[in-house]
Structure 1
Amino acid sequence: MTHELQLRSDYWYDDGSVIIIVEETAFRVHKSILSQHSDVFADLFTIPEPAARESESLEGCSIVHLQDDLHDFTQVIKAIYKPFYFDELPQNADLRKLLGFISGILKISTKYNLTRIRQKCIDILQGKFPTTLSGCEELVSSGYQYNATTVVSAIPLARETNVPEILPWAFYISTNIDTDTLLADPVLSWRDKALCLAGKSQLWERQKEDTHKFLFEFARPSDCRHMCSLRLPQMTWKHIEDLRKRPHPLHEYDDWDSLGLCHVCLQRVQDQHAKGREKVWNALPRIFHLGTWEEIRKEQNR
């Protein structure tokens, strides 16, 4: 039977070979182009239509109905037909705009296995959610500012689209949200809220024991000849309480001169600080019960 359409999308090519209908909106596109991007589409176009729709067509094109979000699907079609579509996202875009731009594309490209487009979305995400300590340092030094309440929206997106590599840093930033606000957040699942709160407690312990221990409890090495332990300023209760509420063990301490340490003690403390930060970074996925970095990379790439 023939089919009449109420609404045509902007992507209606007269030489298109298939009509895809999403939420009553039709896209007349090319089987060959979509098949080049997606083996799922390639298989879809070769599977015989069910008997009830075997003769459903319009202008000589077969019709395929997809149960997807119209906005998300439109964004993917744009990414397919416009080679430089991703250039429309400003390099300095804030996280809210960035997530708004790629979320739908990532969801659809994951569902239909559009590998090139999906990887482009992942690359953009990992530019803001580092997966190495050096990447973290580079991002922090660039002055990039996070809004923690926006960051939390990346967590369910990563879960849905199997991009677990961005989760450790996303959870880390999300620990800056106060408990009441976090618990009231409508986006995060209760499981992820619990992981965030438990991880926050662990980050505090890591900061005290691994990365900034010298600020809490300084042990003078045996080869120190200058009584440095007597000169090192102890943290005030207020500073300790502020850190407990918003732990940041990956913060790179740089106010070394204020400590008044001799060369021997300063070198020892700086080495401990650097090793502690590396230790925390390596443990970051486990802190939030995500496995190890190696495990989540394998999961993402399978």
Structure 2
Amino acid sequence: MSRPKPNETSSGFESPRTDEPLFQPSSEVWYKDGNTILIAGDEGFRVYAGMLSEQSSVFADMLEIPLPAPQATHEGCPLVWISDSAVEMRYLLKSMLDPRYILKINQTLDLPALCSILRLSTKYNVVHIRRRAIEALQHYFPTTLSAYYNARERRRLSSGGVSTYFLLANTCREANANVLLPSILYSCSAQQLDTILDGVPDSHQGRVELSHKNKSAVIQSRHQLAHLARTGTLRWLYSGEGCSDKRCVAIRRRVGARLLEGRSIDGFVNPLSTFNDALVELIDGDCCEACQNAVERCVDNGREEVWKKVPSVFGLGSWDVLVKAYGQE
């Protein structure tokens, strides 16, 4: 159903056409005793104006402003058109009006849903819902390396692919959810360069690209991250730590050459990789135990040092500053 175009009356007020349905009642957010109908796209949501106003200063201002006559109504309820998509507004209203749904925010909602809730809860200043959305997203994009690494399968199962990462990065930037940005932008930086530059197809939005600010930050980060890989997690390729046995040195060089041959055209190497394949190759190549232990220590310590620097790589300060700022919201 397409949204009807309004007619303009002689008074200059635009009133909706009455010769076709104005909206499709929502099957999920439609309270029979509600007193206001919000219309997003072609979907109408019958809600309690008072409950929305109590939770949102933006809704309070919007719903308290008297509209000029003649005002469109349905079953005695005033109709209020909003510019957001029906899908996103449905997520927000369910979060605000259904206590059972609030519990799902931290438990079962996927990344696209959480992205929508974060964007609109920020836009409409629904503080408690915004905080819940950020806390839920931190399960996927946390502030510690161990938690980030352990969440990799959760991210894979919950996201809609790279487009979700790009949308989430843009939403977090727009919503000033900076505590989430470093790990999200890092996930974006690990994508193929042409994907970062050109964006990716999306079934709902056609094509999704990083915002100009995010794209610039991600592209610039790749050189810094590659440098951190060479001087941190891959330092064992160039240092004499472990031993100087010619066989071990030859094996390390061979493994290092293979790793660097597989890098991106712009020289990107993922500095947070565990390089497990390289370690297996060292073992299979009969590298001595001292070398194997040295490589493991180098990778583990290097990854921790890199993680500490991830926020600054993207111009976001430090983890401590970001966490403290979020705690003061």
- TM-score (norm. length: structure 1): 0.76
Query: Which of residues 198, 203, 218 in structure 1 aligns to 2:239?
Result: 218
Query: Which of residues 283, 286, 289 in structure 1 aligns to 2:315?
Result: 289
Deviates more, 1:275-284 or 1:245-254: 245-254
Q: Is the 8 A contact 1:18 1:28 kept in 2?
A: yes
Aligned to 2:209: 187
Q: Which runs of structure 2 are paired with 1:74-223 in the superposition (5 Å)?
A: 74-85=90-101, 98-140=110-152, 144=156, 147-148=161-162, 150-185=164-199, 186-214=208-236, 216-220=237-241
* Deviations 1:275-297, CA, capped at 9 Å, x for gaps: 32222111101112233223444
* Deviations 1:181-234, CA, capped at 9 Å, x for gaps: 3222251134432322221111111111122201x112247xxxx645762422
Hey, what's the Cα distance between the residues in 2 that align with 1:141 and 1:67?
35
Q: Is the 8 A contact 2:196 2:209 kept in 1?
A: no
CA change 1:182–1:56 in 2 (3 A) is closer
Root-mean-square deviation (CA), in Å?
A: 3.7
* Deviations 1:248-292, CA, capped at 9 Å, x for gaps: 212235538724143xx6666554443322221111011122332
Give how far 1:89 is off: 8.6
Does structure 1 residue 260 correspond to structure 2 residue 276?
no
SS state of the match for residue 9, structure 1?
strand
Hey, what's the Cα distance between the residues in 2 that align with 1:134 and 1:205?
22
SS state of the match for residue 99, structure 2?
coil
Hey, what's the Cα distance between the residues in 2 that align with 1:195 and 1:56?
47
Paired residue total: 289
Hey, what's the Cα distance between the residues in 1 that align with 2:100 and 2:262?
45
Does structure 1 residue 49 correspond to structure 2 residue 66?
yes
Paired amino acid for 2:66? E
* Deviations 1:97-128, CA, capped at 9 Å, x for gaps: x3332333222211112233323322332222
Hey, what's the Cα distance between the residues in 2 that align with 1:193 and 1:55?
44
Paired amino acid for 1:238? R
- TM-score (norm. length: structure 2): 0.71
* Deviations 1:1-41, CA, capped at 9 Å, x for gaps: x9977335233433223333334644321123223432433
Q: Is the 8 A contact 1:250 1:280 kept in 2?
A: yes
Aligned to 1:68: 84
Q: Is the 8 A contact 2:140 2:154 kept in 1?
A: no
Query: Which of residues 224, 238, 252 in structure 1 aligns to 2:258?
Result: 238
CA change 1:285–1:78 in 2 (3 A) is same
CA change 1:275–1:84 in 2 (3 A) is same
Hey, what's the Cα distance between the residues in 2 that align with 1:149 and 1:279?
29
Hey, what's the Cα distance between the residues in 2 that align with 1:56 and 1:6?
10
CA change 1:249–1:12 in 2 (3 A) is closer
Identity %: 26
Gap runs ≥5 in structure 1: none
CA change 1:143–1:297 in 2 (3 A) is closer
Q: State the structure with bigger RCO (CA 8 A, min sep 6), 1 or 2.
A: 1
Paired amino acid for 2:166? V
CA change 1:29–1:151 in 2 (3 A) is closer
SS state of the match for residue 179, structure 2?
helix
Moved beyond 6 Å, runs of 4+: 2-5, 86-93
Query: Which of residues 265, 269, 273 in structure 2 aligns to 1:251?
Result: 273
Gap runs ≥5 in structure 2: 1-14, 200-207
Deviates more, 1:146-155 or 1:73-82: 146-155
